[in-house]
Amino acid sequence: MNDLLSSVARYYSDKIQRFGNEPRGVDWNGHEGQVLRFAQLCKVLDPDAAFSVTDVGCGYGSLLDFLGTHFERFDYVGVDISDAMIHAATQLHADKTHARFQLGTRPSHPTDFAVASGIFNVKLDSDSGAWRSYIESTLENMHEFTTRGFAFNCLTGYSDQDKMRADLHYADPCELFDICKRKYSRNVALLHDYGLYEFTILVRK
């Protein structure tokens, strides 16, 4: 697993160094799609009450900006496996006292929620079975350090065959829904209707 994540960390460190603090720096095509993804993921959060949230694979912290425009009371922790990403995020958001960034895959203390955007997409040359194991262990990890729920997205296995790339992972939404339903909560939502070749799963405890 360490070798798998080391390759991914190098991939994303290269992206942020090449493109800087913009969607391409975290391997997204553009701002519009990024915001649309955040809107789906953040449906797991509570807009009417204060909460704490961990952004797993936070990149340069763009989710923090989205949260700031849609939620009033929250504490934020961003974790990432890329040193370059954590450095960029810390520099960019140095003025935000309710936010902190840490290198790694989980926060130092539990949070109410966790959100993971895009961390399951880029498998590079990893074996598909090993990548599925990584996804399941990451979901277990998020379940362990959250008290109220978590959300994540994946590229969908229902994508057009001629547009699918060998270095990306396309997940089975029904399989992951079933895992979350059986292992983590009775309250699970699968969102597959927002116009992108992906899906979002919300787990509410």
Range of 165's domain? Answer: 2-204
Domain count, the chain: 1
Q: What is the pLDDT of residue 34?
A: 87
pLDDT tens track for 55-83: 999 998 999 999 999 999 999 999 999 99
- Mean pLDDT taken over the chain: 91
What are the distances in angstroms from CA 193 to CA 5, 37, 196, 199, 201?
30, 11, 8, 8, 12
pLDDT tens track for 26-58: 555 667 888 999 999 999 999 999 999 999 999
State both tokens at 82. 């890329």
What is the distance between the alpha carbons of residues 5 and 19, in angstroms, rounded to a whole number? Answer: 21
pLDDT band at 202 (very low <50, low <70, confident <90, very high): very high
Closest CA to 117 of 55, 54, 176, 175: 55
Average pLDDT, integer, range 97-125: 95
Do 102 and 108 touch, CB atoms closer than 8 A? yes
Residue 81: give its domain's CATH number: 3.40.50.150
> The whole model's pTM is what?
0.91
